[in-house]
Structure 1
């Protein structure tokens, strides 16, 4: 499940932002540092996203597929919407900010060219009956059906928050620095729902060994995910080798 703060799904971020450096307790933190944040996001006064599970319950937006708690991000690597990414570069650990983000600082302005007519036959090929409001994925683009009249289906491919001014309560909770913690958080960036209890990471000299739980074995694009994790750990920990252990446990009858 992708959070609303993310500007894209994280793969291997090598395209660094040009936000410079961040001040933290009088020292500088280079772009690319891993930090943990918490936040509450509002649109038109209504909570739409949060890291706080209790608040999500209170406001009636609890998502059972969402992992709540602090979110780990890489500073200045365009993992977040621009306004949040920039704000973090200017914050100290423990600092809280209230932000009002324009559409340009959030999910962009609405683009009329992203509202397209899709032939009914494209839906029939996949045995899908188009209904207004239905989310769709067409050519790897996420959209929502606006109307379905005859053979012409109108689909809006704008982000649902495009054109909106957003308000955030943002806190920089901590900087992730210990090598074992860095390794753990990198794995969680690529596999957000991985259980920490079932994940074992061993650092041996210049080698990193990642013992994956059985439930990751059949993940889609697992080899690409492993490659992304390995590239990040080689870069962040100056590791020479990253190894993965896939576990398959005999089932008891």
Structure 2
């Protein structure tokens, strides 16, 4: 079962340090395990307007030393990347964080940033979302980290067309298909 909701959340580590926090309410589907399967299952029938806390034991698994790689600096220069510590990079479709650069070698950590940590999620469940435009704005915002203010969505129900304009981004055919996969009720629409 999928249910669309508006939430606000904060994530803390085991030392009660704030790791992540929403700046504005987020619209997302529950049922696709975007947050965490256990959290989404508990929220699916929870009351709106309330705040919930979830303590999860290492939800992103343990840190894996085999996911820390040494890559020649020349590989970054070939891709026009100036490697510096803490830079998030995509290498062969794996996202990692550069930990250090020295002697022509770059150490990249491909572990999830929260791997090896117990996490406390504090989530305020604001409301259920049924509006199609809000769902599209929500999935674009969380999937591509785009502010909802930079997205314009127009829905023509008569002609089954949806036009989406995103500031500084042209949506690819694949990105449009991803939107349809998350929002089944627009499968028959043409997304422009």
Alignment TM-score, normalising by the size of structure 2: 0.79
Report how many residues are paired: 187
1:222 aligned to which of 172, 178, 184: 172
Aligned residue number for residue 21 of structure 2: 50
Q: Once the 2 structures are TM-superposed, how far is the Cα of residue 33 of structure 1 from its aligned partner?
A: 1.5
**Does 1:122 pair with 2:75?**
yes
Question: SS of the residue aligned with 2:160?
Answer: strand
Alignment partners' CA distance in 2, 1:227 and 1:152: 39
Q: Which residue in 2 is equivalent to 1:19? A: none
Deviation at 1:120? 2.7
Hey, which of these two has a bigger chunk of strand by percent?
A: 2
C-alpha separation in 2, matches of 1:84 and 1:97: 10
1:184 aligns with 2:155: no
2:190 is aligned to: 243
1:208 and 2:160 correspond: yes
Separation in structure 2 between the aligned mates of residue 222 and residue 232 of structure 1, nearest angstrom:
16
Q: Give me the CA root mean square deviation.
A: 2.8
Distance, in Å, in 1 between the alignment partners of 2:100 and 2:108 is: 7
Task: Give ranges in structure 2 of 5+ residues lacking alignment.
Answer: none
Q: Which has the higher contact order (CA 8 A, sep 6+)?
A: 2
The superposition leaves residues 87-130 of structure 1 with CA deviations (integer Å, 9 ceiling, x where unpaired) of 32352223321221211x3x222111101111233123235443
Question: Which protein is bigger by CA-based radius of gyration?
Answer: 1
Deviation string 1:30-77 (CA, Å, 9 cap, x unpaired) is x211111111222222222222xxxxxxxxxxxxxxxx3221221221
- Residue 113, structure 1, aligned to residue 66, structure 2: yes
Is the Cα contact below 8 Å between 1:34 and 1:182 reproduced in 2?
A: no
Q: Distance in 1 between matches of 2:191 and 2:89?
A: 35
Structure 1 position 135 matched with structure 2 position 82: no
TM-score by length of 1: 0.62
